[in-house]
Structure 1
Amino acid sequence: MAVTFVLDFSDGQHVETSGNGVIGRNPAVHTPGTEMDDPGHVQLITIQDDVKSVSRAHLAFGQYDGVFWVMDLGSANGTTITYPGEGTFACDPNTRHEVDPGSIVRFGGESFALTRR
C-alpha cells in the first residue's frame, strides 16, 4: 500500500504524492534512467528557475515499500540530502537514495522538505 508523502518546496509549492515523479525546469515522463516502478502515472513538478541551477529533468522520486527515494538524473548541479542530525550527503547520479521524513533535499538552488502524512 502506498504511503502519502508531502514535499514542501523552497519556491512555495506544496505537493502531496503517493507515487513517482520527476522534478525539473521542464520535466518529462520518458526521462532516460528514471526506471519508474509505475510509468503509467508520473507527477511532473515544474520548478521556475531563471538562473538555470535546476536541470530540465533534475531528479526523479518515488517510494518502495513505504520508503521515499530520490534519484539525481545526471544533473549539472547535483542533488544532496540533509538527514536530521546526520549531516548532508551528495547523491550519486542515477542511483536511488532513501530519504527519511524530516530531511531536506537540495537540487541546484532549490530544495524541498519531506514529511510523511
Structure 2
Amino acid sequence: MMTKRYCFSCDLKEDPQLIKEYKEYHAAGNAWPEITKSIKDAGIVDLQIYLTGNRMFMIMDVDETFDPVKKAKADEENPKVQEWEELMWKYQQALPWAKEGEKWVSMEQVFQLV
C-alpha cells in the first residue's frame, strides 16, 4: 500500500488550563469515536499531533483513497464532526499567516534525509 504524508500546523490559545483540556480530549481513547471513524473512513491511515508550547504539528499519512476535497465535504455534512470542530476552536487559534477561516495550515517540506 502506497501512502502520502501531509503536515499541518495550528496554534492553541496560550492558556495552560485550555492546553491541558485540549490534551485530555486527545489522550488515547478520549477522541470521540465518530471523529476517529470519519478520519479512518477518509483513507487516513495514521494521524499524529505533536505540541511544543502552544504550537501544534500534525502528521497525516493517507492511502490512495484519500481525497482532501471529499474529506472536507464529508466533514461539512457530518454534524458530529462540526460539533467537535466547534468545541476544538475553544482551544485553538489561527496561525498569524493563516487565510481567513483556515485552521490547520499546510506545511512545506524543506528537508528530507535520503
Query: In which range does the TM-score fall when normalised by the shorter chain?
Result: 0.3 to 0.5
Compute the TM-score of the two structures, normalised by the length of structure 2.
Answer: 0.32
With structure 1 as the length reference, what TM-score do the two structures score? Answer: 0.32
Instruction: Answer 1 or 2: which has greater strand percent.
Output: 1
